[in-house]
Structure 1
């Protein structure tokens, strides 16, 4: 019997179908779910690691994986993992926030040249800051100067602290998923100044090359969890409000907008190539990143 797959995921409401697959459809018999609160940047590092903290599979933000795979290819190295599935079809809404009392920052227009808090280099929060700069026309690819100075803060709590005036590693703003962040501008800790949507499906599944033989069964169990999620929205609300401290209003609003596929297996090459093009324009690669032919490794059986 093959060893259980070590599957990393970000412990947010998007993990609800995974919880259902674990609780009701035997995912626990083939996989160990490992929460990674530092996000997709940490997941990519653990996919490439060769120690006890390594992962076989990771479920995270599209931009984080595509950026990491592109940088690895541009550097002439092998990542040892690839994209195997599409976990969430809908785009992700990133809230753009600063400290509630931060003076002089009241809109996205005030952010040019400022310091952006990121969970770690290569994370979705870092990548999307470059996408924001590109959309605003603030990139100066000729000079090589970044539109924002990144400040690595760590987890979500550290990011919130970083935008306060007395922060240990002060940043001027950061970007995080809308519903995770909303209660902190509603309680007066943060100030929301804008939002940005990913121009691609928001979550994908990545796996080490060595895990490929087990992916068909793993993704089949995830599909069952997604089916329950779609058919039993009240159970989804109950799980989200009971385990992650989201309000019922937020949980129901999120459910109205999120779209999971019926079958997570496979990744559209056009989507990956589109993401590569946007990230390349946003100066995320210093060399040739390649495209979907180098990044998508799953072949449906």
Structure 2
């Protein structure tokens, strides 16, 4: 049985992977798919792909595009979630900041440089017509636990993270959410190390076939809202809202989307140049 390592964030977006693993669907095809949670998000996963710690990743679109251009020898093979990610803009409960405009010139907590929380801080700044050189500052906090500590101890002032993942912390009064910043593109893609893909293309196709079959009918799974609420400690009404907003994909990411992401990253000086579609995307 062939062992294949895959990584993703431990969030409700990836429940379909957990369900197919629990059902033994990959083992039925001779694949020992091993899932690893990455609490540090896309920056941590990009590093894991580079180092061969994982073969595949379910990763933020903007994060992996930036890292491939920066030298990560991986390729995008499919869109996983077609809808945008809704990033909540959070401050500590006792913070003196009450609007997004109040955050101009303050310090953003980010999981790491090149991560989604880092890149989306730029998008948020651009949306609010801030000076990208003068009005942005960063503090690396690694993960969500680090953000709680960083904002509480006033090491950083605000933090962007997926709205529904942080909702329990808002409900508990750890964070206040003072705004939202949706990503202007499909949020998650599946990426694979090129060297691994060259030697294991059929196995990767099999994995995609299994996960795509599950995501196609994901919303129709009986009591899926209650399952998500229990597993991720979410309120049922929050999960139901999230399910209405979220659409999975079984398609290869298109050229227009790749162009849009690169245009925005280039305008923000996050990437040095744009790459051809076929250097970023591999069609199976």
TM-score (norm: length of structure 1):
0.87
- Structure-2 separation of matches of 1:66 and 1:137: 24
Equivalent position of 2:215 in the other structure: 226
Local SS of the residue matching 2:83: coil
Equivalent position of 2:105 in the other structure: 113
- Structure-2 separation of matches of 1:62 and 1:106: 30
- Structure 2 stretches lacking a partner, 5+ long: none
Aligned residues: 277
Decide which of 178, 184, 187 is 2:172's aligned counterpart: 187
- Structure-2 separation of matches of 1:228 and 1:136: 38
- Structure-1 separation of matches of 2:230 and 2:163: 19
Closer/same/farther in 2, CA of residues 277 and 139 from structure 1, 3 Å limit: farther
Decide which of 62, 74, 89 is 2:82's aligned counterpart: 89
After TM superposition, give the deviation of residue 98 of structure 1 in Å. Answer: 0.4
Higher-RCO chain (CA-CA 8 Å, sequence separation at least 6): 1
Equivalent position of 2:51 in the other structure: 49
Local SS of the residue matching 2:91: strand
Matched-pair contact (CA < 8 Å) for 2:263–2:274:
no
After TM superposition, give the deviation of residue 18 of structure 1 in Å. Answer: 1.0
TM-score (norm: length of structure 2):
0.92
Equivalent position of 1:127 in the other structure: 119
Pairing 1:60–2:46 present: no
After TM superposition, give the deviation of residue 4 of structure 1 in Å. Answer: 1.6
TM superposition outliers: structure 1 runs of 4+ over 3 Å: none
Closer/same/farther in 2, CA of residues 21 and 225 from structure 1, 3 Å limit: farther
- Structure-2 separation of matches of 1:225 and 1:147: 43
- Structure-2 separation of matches of 1:109 and 1:42: 30
Local SS of the residue matching 1:121: coil
